[in-house]
Amino acid sequence: MSGVVVVLGALWGIGQSGCVRQIQWLPQVGDVAIEGMDQAGVMDAPPAVDIQNHRGSVTVMVSPQVDSPRVTALVHRDGKVEADVRWTAASMAMDNGRPVLRVLSTAEGAEDVPVDIRVILPACGGVRVQNDGGPVTLLDVAGAIEVHNSLDAADGRSIFIETWEDLTAPMLLRSERGNVEVRMGRDSAGQLTASSQTERVTVDTGAAKTASVKLTGRSWIGTINGGASDQRIDVENGSVLVVLGLKDPIRQPVGPWLAPD
């Protein structure tokens, strides 16, 4: 397992993405200023996104409708929500020559209430999320992906990824409670290991080429499209669903899913 994390650390931040999703903006409460945004104008690569949320939910969406990253933090509490969410901060910085957008939400020195973090950006080069107590949703992302999450209960989606990008970089998804669902481009590739300790694991590779497949009701191990990157999904209490076949909506405007041949 440590090898997957090392590779993610080395490659995280590589890749580009785009989408045609329509943005539905949330109320303009809780906009988080991004420190260091003056670096955004000279970035040679799309930024990776690194989010740590003490409790709540996380959504990362890539959309060409925006020309710069935007971070919103909405607080769950009774009464008026102040526009200044003091315990959530965001910054843009260079890390080993690559831009990284970091978002941190902590209960230290403030009320321990759930915070919903939403990041929208024109392109991303990878995503890493540490969260608890709510769903993590990644839409049209690319690059290496690492998510650690857990729901308050096991009967919901803990991690949901939907992207028409071909995921070929390392991936590590871990959920203590809650289901994990990944829907990705039809030419995604990697050395996939998906397992659950309690529920069913379903992997639909469509027309992709697979090799060395070993499967049981609670695990799926195999090579997809000859890929070499380690891609691991570990769920303690919940199910796993992986589907290949999402088509590029820019080139394929009639329905996003490619039926298996």
- Counting beta carbons within 10 angstroms of the beta carbon of residue 258, is it exposed (0 to 12), middle (13 to 18) or buried (19 or more)? middle
Does the structure show a pLDDT above 70 at 80?
A: no
Amino acid 15: pLDDT? 40
At 184, the pLDDT band (50, 70, 90 cuts) reads very high
Q: Given this model, what pLDDT does residue 83 score?
A: 47
Of 58-62, 105-109, 230-234, give the lowest mean pLDDT range. Answer: 105-109
d(CA 218, CA 30): 41
Which residue would you say has higher pLDDT here, 241 or 64?
241
> Quick one: pLDDT at residue 33?
87
Q: What is the per-residue pLDDT across 84-125, written as a single tens digit (0 to 9) for each?
A: 445 788 999 988 888 999 999 887 655 567 889 999 999 999
Residue 81 tokens read as 């929500």
> 205-212 long-range CB contacts below 8 Å, 24 or more apart?
205/244, 206/243, 206/244, 206/245, 206/258, 206/259, 206/260, 206/261, 207/245, 207/258, 207/260, 207/261, 208/244
pLDDT tens sequence across 8-52: 454 444 343 434 455 443 333 478 889 988 755 556 789 999 999
For residue 252, what pLDDT is reported?
44
What b-and-e string marks burial along 96-124, b requiring 16 or more CB atoms within 10 Å of the CB? eebbbbbbbbeeeeeeeebbbbbbbbbbb
pLDDT in tens, 125-174: 999 999 999 999 999 999 999 999 999 877 899 999 999 899 999 999 99
pLDDT of residue 225: 97
Amino acid 155: pLDDT: 82
**Number of other residues whose CB lies within 10 A of the CB of residue 56:** 21
pLDDT score of 58 more than 70: yes
Closest C-alpha among 6, 21, 256, 14 to residue 137: 21
* Cα-based angle 258, 159, 242 (whole degrees, multiple of 5): 35
Separation CA 185–CA 227 (nearest Å): 14
- Report d(CA 86, CA 96) in Å as an integer: 29
Nearest Cα neighbor of 226 from 209, 203, 248, 240 is 209
Going from N- to C-terminal start, the domains of the chain cover 2-246
End-to-end Cα spacing for the chain: 34
Q: What pLDDT is recorded for position 75?
A: 79
